[in-house]
Chains A and B, each alone.
Chain A
């Protein structure tokens, strides 16, 4: 399948069209909205389901030595990407060192929804991936925050990581739920999956569609309210940085000798930007940084780019590189 066909297939999938609907509704000022509690409930469902299914996959396929290498690679990537993002931001935009560091932290961390959408694209293409990529995703949530705080300290900001913030970052709800459900899936295996399959497998795509509808609404509202923030340099960064991250993810996948599916997911993880865990950490650690810059960039620019074009590009490149 060529890149064009992949892109068209991706753009006409229910999950992307649901996101587009949300984006359109928000930009058109429709009163369509999803209650906060429902959105949080769907987020918990998706995290639990993806973690559980990853654990079951590991139980079925067994652990390989590659997992440790992949975890190490993920942590290194998450630490390193903020430095690349920071350098690009300082060259391409007029952001202050503080704002640039805050934005950079988002690009070293990950968006689990983009990851889930990536697994959905792989399933549509009939490609498999290692179940433990879920653990790799969890490993990339936090290190980038430390890199960003170091960048701020280096530029004279004098930020210090207190124990409470460290605890909040490492034990944030997404990480605990993802790892916890992964362990439950691993321990209970296919027998456990058979018991709850009707709940976590069949409704998954439908819930993902509704969740992406909500993400589209939130992204659209963010874009509407932050028109003055998005200068051409920032917009360009929001599209270029995911490609840099994806290239780094591809390199990691190739070094580790991963298959096509896992290499594609490593690219997705490298390319995606956090909009849940890192923004909360930045509000605590760097309150002077402008939240509308990093939230609009990660959710309003990079997230839609990855969903609409990025996933197809990453799959095509992963296939080319791994011969899959």
Chain B
């Protein structure tokens, strides 16, 4: 099966920033991404869990984008402008995709 190199960017960010981040991605022409809920975790700000929470202040989401390698810098610049002062993690990994024309 023919596969193609791509970059997988995962941005774990505060739930309240989700729309701002996805708007910034769309503004940078990154039109493909997946938003996943995050159940809980631990980091520099301590342990947290979504269990029983009714507000959005303590929730996090994971935004996953897969792009062609030449689109990576555009994506990161757009994301960084939103993510920079907030709690979260940005990671980039190499991956392989089928159907390269979709990215």
Q: Which residues of A contact B (CB under 8 A)?
A: 33-36, 39-40, 43, 164, 214, 217-218, 221, 225-226, 275-277, 279-280, 282-284, 287-288, 290-292, 295
CB pair B57 A226 closer than 8 Å: no
Q: Can you list 13 A-B contacts (CB < 8 A)?
A: A33-B49, A35-B51, A39-B52, A225-B47, A275-B55, A276-B55, A276-B57, A279-B58, A280-B57, A283-B17, A287-B85, A288-B85, A291-B45
> Known contacts being A33-B51, A36-B51, is A284 close to B85, with CB within 8 Å?
no
Q: Does B3 contact A (CB under 8 A)?
A: no
Cβ contacts under 8 Å, B47 to chain A: 225
Contact A40/B54 with A283-B14, A287-B85 known, Cβ cut-off 8 Å: yes
Verify B57–A291 contact, CB threshold 8 A.
yes
Taken together as a complex, chains A and B put the C-alpha atoms of A257 and B3 apart, in Å, by: 76
Residues of A within 8 A of B53 (CB): 36, 39, 218
Q: Which of B14, B58, B87 has the most chain A CB atoms inside 10 A of its CB?
A: B58
Q: Are A287 and B86 in contact (CB under 8 A)?
A: yes
B50 contacts A by Cβ under 8 Å: yes
Q: Is B56 interfacial (CB 8 A cutoff)?
A: yes
Q: Do residues B51 and A280 form an inter-chain contact, with CB atoms below 8 A?
A: no
What 0/1 readout, one digit per residue, does chain B (37-55) give for beta carbons within 8 Å of chain A? 0000000011111111111
Which of B17, B45, B47, B53 has the most CB atoms of chain A within a 10 A radius of its CB?
A: B53
Closest-CB distance, A164 to chain B (whole angstroms):
7
Determine whether the beta carbon of A221 is less than 8 Å from that of B49: yes
Query: Nearest Cβ in chain B — how far from A113, in angstroms?
Result: 9
In Å, the complex CA distance between A133 and B85 comes to: 38
The 8 Å CB contact of A279, one of B48, B55, B85, is B55
On chain B, the residues within 8 Å of A288 by CB distance are 85
A34→B51 contact, CB < 8 A: yes
For the side of the interface on B, what is the size category?
Answer: 20 to 34
Closest CB-CB distance, A66 to chain B, in whole Å? 32
Residues on the A chain within 8 Å of B50, using CB: 36
Chain B interface (Cβ < 8 Å from any Cβ of A): 14, 16-17, 20, 45-58, 85-87
**Residues on B with beta carbons closer than 8 Å to the beta carbon of A277:** 55
Interface pair A283/B46, CB less than 8 Å apart: no
- Chain A residues contacting B52 (CB-CB under 8 Å) are 33-36, 39, 214, 217-218
In the complex formed, the residue of A with least CB distance to B59 is: A36
Residue ID in chain A nearest B19 by CB atoms: A164
Q: How far is the CB of A239 from chain B (nearest CB, A)?
A: 23
Q: Which residues of B contact A36 (CB under 8 A)?
A: 50-54
Contacts A34-B51, A218-B52, A287-B87 given; indicate if A282 touches B57 (C-beta within 8 A): yes
Cα(A226)–Cα(B46), bound, Å: 8
B82 → A minimal CB distance (Å) = 11
A225-B46 in contact (CB<8A): yes
- Residues in A whose Cβ lies below 8 Å from that of B16: 280, 283-284
What's the Cα separation between A284 and B52 when bound, in Å? Answer: 22
Q: Nearest Cβ distance between residue A24 and chain B, in whole angstroms? A: 15
CB contacts (< 8 Å) of A290 on chain B: these are 45
> How many angstroms between the C-alpha atoms of A321 and B78 in the bound complex?
58
Q: How far is the CB of B46 from chain A (nearest CB, A)?
A: 5
Within the assembled complex, what's the spacing in Å between the Cα atoms of A138 and B63? 33
Among A34, A225, A280, A292, point to the contact of B55 (Cβ < 8 A).
Answer: A280
Chain A residues near B49 (CB-CB < 8 A)? 33, 221
Contacts of B86 in A (CB 8 A): 283, 287
Of all A-B residue pairs in the complex, the 8 with the closest CB atoms, nearest first, are A279-B57, A276-B55, A33-B51, A287-B85, A43-B54, A214-B52, A280-B57, A34-B52
In Å, the complex CA distance between A35 and B51 comes to 5
A170–chain B nearest beta-carbon distance, Å: 15
CA distance A164 to B23 in the complex (A): 12
